[in-house]
C-alpha cells in the first residue's frame, strides 16, 4: 500500500520537475525510488492488509506482482537514460505518465472491489493512449494511439457493463461478497452475462484471440520503448487482475466459463504462433509472440488452482525478463541503423557479441529451451493444466511450443550467420548494457534455480 501512495506522489513530483527544467535529474530520482519501493514491499510481506474500505487487498499475491511490475519498469527507465538522451522533448511528461500507468497496474493486482478493478484499468490505460502517440511526427504513432484509444474505450465499456450486471445480480462490488452469492444453487442470468462481458474486457487487455487484432498495429506504431512497456508491464498486470477476478470471485462457477476459455486459449496459441512465422518486422514479431505467450499464461487461468498463482508469477517473470532483453537490444540496433526489420540484425555476433548472446538467451527462453527460465515457466503451467485433467490442452500447448521454437531460432540464426548489414558496433552506456546483462542473466539464473520463485505465494 505504501508503494502505491509513494508512486503516485512520485509521478506528481516528476511533473513539477519539468516546470523547473530539471530534465537531467529526473531519472536520478525515479530509479532509486522505484528500487526502494521493491524493498518496501518486502517489509510488508506476509502482513495481509485491506485498505480504502476493503477496496484493495495487499496480500502476498498483490505484493509479489506489484514488485515485479516495479522491477520491470525500473529496467525500462534505465533504458530511457540512453534512449531520450538527445531528446529535446519534455520527457518529464513521458516519465510521469509511465509512473501513473504503473500506479494503475498496482491497483489492478491488488483490487478487492470491482470499482477498483475498473479504476485500475483506466489508470493503467489512459496514459498509454497518450504515450502510444508520443512520437507526434510519426503517422504510425498517431495511428497506434487512435486505434489503442478506440479499442480500449470499447473494451472498457463492455467490462463496465459486465460489472454493472454483476452488481445487479449480487448487490455488491466486493469480491468476497460476490463469491458468497456465486455459491448459491440458482443465479440470475444477469450474473452469467456480467461474467462473460467482464471476461471479454480482460481478453482485450491481454490481447487474446479473437480480441488480438489491435496488438500488432499498436506495437508496431508506438515508440519502441513504450512498446516494451506494453508487452511486459501492461500484459502482466492484466493477467494478474484476470486471475484474481476469477479465483476470488467466481471459482465456484468455473463450469460456466472454463470451456469458453479453453477454446480461447487454443485459438490464441495457434493465432499467435502461426502468424509470427511470417513476420519480417521485429516489433510485429514480438506482438504476435506476445499473443502466443498470452495463450500460455491463460493456461494458469484455466487451471485456476491454488498453486496456479505461483506458476503464473514464474512464467510472467521469465517472459518479462526475456522480452526486456530483446527490446533493449532491438532499441540499440534501431538507433544505429534506423531499421525495424529482423534482417537488420544479421551478423550481429561479429560486431557486438554481448548483444548477440543477450538475444540468444532471450529468444531461447521465450522458446522454452532448457535450462532457461522460459522452459520451467512452461513446465509449471503444463503441470497445472495436467492436474486439472485438461490433457488435450497440454498437447495443444506443446505443439505450439514447437511451432514457436521455429521463428525464435530463425532470428537467432540471422544474428549468428552472414555478414553484418551496415555498422552494428553499437556502443551503449554502462547502465544500458547493465539492463541487458541483468535481464539475460536473470533468465539463466531462474532456469538454473527455479526454486527461487517457485512457490513464492505458499
pLDDT in tens, 16-66: 887 777 767 888 899 999 999 999 999 888 788 888 888 999 999 999 999
pLDDT at 429: 77
Residue 437 in contact with residue 352, Cβ under 8 Å? no
pLDDT at 430: 84
- Does residue 210 have a cis bond before it (omega within 30 degrees)? yes
CA distances from 250 to 79, 85, 168, 360 (A): 40, 48, 16, 41
Helices then strands, each counted (H, E), the chain: 19, 2
Cell triple for 396:
495443444
- The domain ranges of the chain are 1-249, 252-458
Which residue stretches of the chain have pLDDT < 50?
A: none
Cell triple for 216:
500488432
CB neighbour burial string for 66-97, b if at least 16 within 10 angstroms, e if fewer: bbbbbbbbbbbbbbbbbbbeeeeeebbbbbbb
pLDDT at 305: 84
What is the value of pTM for the model shown?
Answer: 0.95
State the residue for C-alpha cell 536520478.
28
pLDDT at 369: 94
State the residue for C-alpha cell 520503448.
225
Cell triple for 325:
532483453
Short-list 363, 69, 97, 383, CA closest to 239: 69
User: Burial level of 183, CB count in 10 A (0-12/13-18/19+)?
Assistant: exposed
DSSP characters over 351-382:
H-HHHHHHHHHHHHHHHT-TTSHHHHHHHHHH
Short-list 359, 369, 375, CA closest to 414: 359
pLDDT at 89: 67
Q: Which long-range contacts link 30-38 to residues 24+ away (Cβ below 8 Å)?
A: 30/77, 30/95, 30/99, 31/74, 31/77, 31/78, 33/6, 34/7, 34/70, 34/71, 34/73, 34/74, 34/77, 35/74, 37/3, 37/6, 37/7, 37/70, 38/67, 38/70, 38/71, 38/74
Q: Specify the 3-state DSSP secondary structure of 388.
A: coil
Short-list 64, 70, 15, 59, CA closest to 37: 70
Separation CA 174–CA 112 (nearest Å): 6
pLDDT at 44: 87
Separation CA 44–CA 1 (nearest Å): 9
pLDDT at 153: 92
Paired strand residues for 58 = 49
* pLDDT tens digits for range 287-321: 999 999 999 999 999 998 888 999 999 999 999 99
Residue 292 in contact with residue 404, Cβ under 8 Å? yes
Residue 156 in contact with residue 125, Cβ under 8 Å? yes
Amino acid at each position: 500500500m505504501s508503494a502505491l501512495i509513494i508512486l503516485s506522489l512520485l509521478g506528481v513530483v516528476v511533473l513539477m520537475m519539468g516546470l523547473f527544467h530539471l530534465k537531467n535529474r529526473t531519472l536520478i530520482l525515479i530509479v532509486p525510488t522505484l528500487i526502494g519501493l521493491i524493498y518496501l514491499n518486502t517489509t510488508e510481506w506476509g502482513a495481509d492488509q485491506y485498505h480504502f474500505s476493503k477496496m484493495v487487498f495487499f496480500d502476498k499475491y498483490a505484493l509479489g506482482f506489484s514488485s515485479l511490475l516495479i522491477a520491470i519498469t525500473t529496467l525500462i527507465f534505465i533504458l530511457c537514460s540512453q534512449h531520450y538522451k538527445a531528446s529535446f522533448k519534455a520527457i518529464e511528461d513521458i516519465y510521469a505518465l509511465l509512473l501513473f500507468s504503473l500506479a494503475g497496474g498496482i491497483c489492478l493486482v491488488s483490487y478487492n472491489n470491482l470499482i477498483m478493478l475498473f479504476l485500475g484499468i483506466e489508470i493503467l490505460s489512459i496514459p498509454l493512449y497518450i504515450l502510444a502517440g508520443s512520437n507526434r511526427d510519426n503517422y504510425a504513432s498517431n495511428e497506434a494511439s487512435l486505434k489503442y484509444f478506440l479499442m480500449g474505450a470499447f473494451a472498457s465499456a463492455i467490462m463496465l457493463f459486465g460489472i454493472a450486471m454483476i452488481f445487479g445480480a449480487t448487490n455488491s462490488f466486493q469480491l468476497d461478497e460476490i463469491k458468497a452469492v456465486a455459491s448459491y444453487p440458482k443465479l440470475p442470468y444477469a450474473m452469467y452475462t456480467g461474467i462473460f462481458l467482464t471476461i471479454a474486457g480482460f481478453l482485450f487487455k491481454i490481447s487474446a484471440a479473437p480480441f488480438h487484432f489491435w496488438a500488432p498495429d499498436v506495437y508496431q506504431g508506438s515508440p519502441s520503448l513504450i512498446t516494451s512497456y506494453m508487452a511486459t508491464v501492461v500484459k502482466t498486470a492484466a493477467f494478474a487482475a484476470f486471475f484474481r477476478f476469477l479465483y476470488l470471485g467466481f471459482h465456484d462457477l468455473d463450469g460456466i466459463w472454463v470451456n469458453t476459455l479453453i477454446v480461447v486459449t487454443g485459438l490464441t496459441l495457434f493465432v499467435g504462433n502461426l502468424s509470427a512465422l511470417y513476420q519480417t518486422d521485429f516489433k510485429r514479431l514480438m506482438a504476435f509472440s506476445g499473443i502466443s505467450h498470452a495463450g500460455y499464461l491463460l493456461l494458469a487461468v484455466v487451471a485456476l488452482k491454488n498453486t496456479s498463482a505461483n506458476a503464473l508469477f514464474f512464467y510472467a517473470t521469465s517472459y518479462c525478463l526475456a522480452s526486456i532483453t530483446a527490446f533493449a537490444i532491438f532499441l540499440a540496433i534501431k538507433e544505429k541503423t534506423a531499421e525495424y526489420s529482423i534482417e537488420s540484425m544479421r551478423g550481429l555476433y561479429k560486431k557486438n557479441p554481448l548483444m548477440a548472446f543477450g538475444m540468444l538467451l532471450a529468444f531461447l527462453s521465450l522458446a522454452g529451451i532448457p535450462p532457461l527460465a522460459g522452459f520451467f515457466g512452461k513446465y509449471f503451467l503444463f503441470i497445472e493444466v495436467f492436474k486439472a485433467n485438461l490433457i488435450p490442452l497440454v498437447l495443444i500447448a506443446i505443439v505450439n511450443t514447437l511451432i514457436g521454437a521455429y521463428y525464435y531460432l530463425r532470428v537467432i540464426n540471422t544474428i549468428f550467420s552472414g555478414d553484418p548489414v551496415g555498422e552494428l558496433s553499437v556502443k551503449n552506456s554502462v547502465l544500458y548494457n547493465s539492463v541487458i546483462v541483468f535481464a539475460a542473466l536473470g533468465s539463466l539464473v531462474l532456469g538454473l534455480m527455479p526454486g527461487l520463485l517457485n512457490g513464492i505465494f505458499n
